[in-house]
Amino acid sequence: MPPNEDFGWCSKHGVHNCVLDHPELAERKTLPSQEQLQEDQRQAQSSLAMGVRKENNSRCTLYQSRIQFASVESVRQAGVDIGLVERDRVIEAVSGNGEIVYDPTRKATIAARVPGSVWAVEKNIGDVVRQGELLALIDATAVGKIKSELLRALAEKALQAKNVARLKDARGAVAGARIIEAEAALAKARADVLNAEQAIRNLGLPIDADNLRGLSEDQAIDNLRLLGIPQTYLANIDELAASTNLLPVVAPISGTVVDRSVSLGEVVDPSMQLFEIADTSQMWLRLSLPLETIDQLSIGQQIRFSPDGSSRIIEGRLDWISTGADQHTRMIDVRAILDNQDGRLRDRTFGTGKVILRDANDAIVVPSEATHWEGCCNVVFVRDKDYFASPDSPKVFHVRSVRLGATYQGKTEVIAGVLPGEVIAVEGSDVLRAQLLKNGLGAGCCVEE
């Protein structure tokens, strides 16, 4: 049997006698179209660009080997069965464990700003709230005290202002020193008002002391009593019964109440979380991936997440990659933002996620068991195209070095080395590998580079 023409090593694709560049070497009756060949070369480029693919040894000569059987029957007896090089979808992905959580940038935990007891609880777990809506009222003596300090400071300021005005009217009759003294007292009273005002603001209450000016003391007290309690809620309160100590606790963001750890009458202090509100319209997916995958990741890649115990697939896009790995686990964290308008995603859902690196529809694939590592190259065994030409035609398998890509659902992508339509040994192909190595055909192979 005459040897095939020998084109040697293809440095572009990393195989010997490259059928992507010399399709006439393929063991098939017809040549692929030029368009198809170009498309396959493009696919090979994009697959090689994915990163480290196992290399073959350029100096290996095993590709020149052929393994000949006496008959079709002896092939059968050796347990060798064949399959086709095909096209199929190949998805290359990195996977890791992950968790769906509330978007922490859209989450708020709420505590009372001062100690007190719970006077009313207005919202419960699951309630949807708008920003500013009342969650609870706390009865806190500190609140009443600060309010009365403001009233006292306002009264003092009014008194001192009157005093200064009176002294100035009687300018000639009083010593300048007394005017200066009175002005100092007024300045102090003004400062006290500002201090009291700030203390009230620090409680989260909206206050503008200017609005209280000109009101009688009773009017000012009424005004201050229910300070910060939303207008819509006032109808529910018997205003006269309401204490001046009431501190409203309102929602700082719009969202859903996801936790409530407070009940009526309970004594609370600022260290206790009363409510948790989360905007659940979008959630975060956090995944941990092996550090070595970091070079393959980029923002925008698709993520598919399967929650434990569910057949559902949740999709999102990679939108953040941590810059450092965890010191102990050597894992990196990545994140996707998941849409949750329908509210189906739950906080703390564990599962497995995949970042899709590449999704090729028309990759060249072979059954994974057809590929073998012979010591320095990946090979497959390709049946001669004239195998059945006549009963006497040689029953030959050619050794072909192949550059392997992704493995997906039992099939292995061949970046270069075979073309669709070629027939290869699949089941029992390890018999051919054993034969190859037994015959010492590998001599000169496996040399150190």
- Minimum Å distance from CB 405 to Zn ion? 14
* Angle CA 61–62–65, to nearest 5: 115
Q: In the complex with Zn ion, which residue's Cβ is closer, 366 or 436?
A: 436
- Minimum Å distance from CB 22 to Zn ion? 8
Q: In the complex with Zn ion, which residue's Cβ is closer, 59 or 168?
A: 59
Tokens 């209280």 locate to 212
* Angle CA 252–117–258, to nearest 5: 40
Q: In the complex with Zn ion, which residue's Cβ is closer, 63 or 119?
A: 63
Separation between Cα atoms, residue 256 and residue 277, nearest integer Å: 5
Q: In the complex with Zn ion, which residue's Cβ is closer, 53 or 317?
A: 53
- Minimum Å distance from CB 26 to Zn ion? 12
User: Are the C-beta atoms of 109 and 258 separated by less than 8 Å?
Assistant: no
Q: In the complex with Zn ion, which residue's Cβ is closer, 8 or 265?
A: 8
- Minimum Å distance from CB 39 to Zn ion? 15
> What secondary structure letter does DSSP report for 295?
G
What angle do the packed helices 176-202 and 141-169 form, to 10 degrees? Answer: 160
- Phi first, then psi, for residue 297 (nearest 5°) are -95, 145
Where does this chain bind Zn ion (CB under 5 A)?
A: 10, 12-13, 18, 20-21, 57, 60, 62, 376-377, 445
Percent helix, percent strand, percent coil in the chain, to nearest 5: 30, 30, 40
> What secondary structure letter does DSSP report for 296?
G
> Which among 426, 372, 361, 417 is positioned nearest to 92, based on CA atoms?
361
- Minimum Å distance from CB 287 to Zn ion? 36
- Minimum Å distance from CB 44 to Zn ion? 8
Q: In the complex with Zn ion, which residue's Cβ is closer, 60 or 363?
A: 60
- Minimum Å distance from CB 343 to Zn ion? 53
Tokens 């030959």 locate to 396
Separation between Cα atoms, residue 236 and residue 134, nearest integer Å: 12
Give 211's Cβ-side CA count (13 Å radius). 9
81 vs 52, 261, 369, 388, CA distance in Å?
31, 67, 11, 15
- Minimum Å distance from CB 401 to Zn ion? 7
Q: In the complex with Zn ion, which residue's Cβ is closer, 136 or 376?
A: 376
Separation between Cα atoms, residue 410 and residue 425, nearest integer Å: 16
Q: In the complex with Zn ion, which residue's Cβ is closer, 244 or 378?
A: 378
Amino acid at 33: S
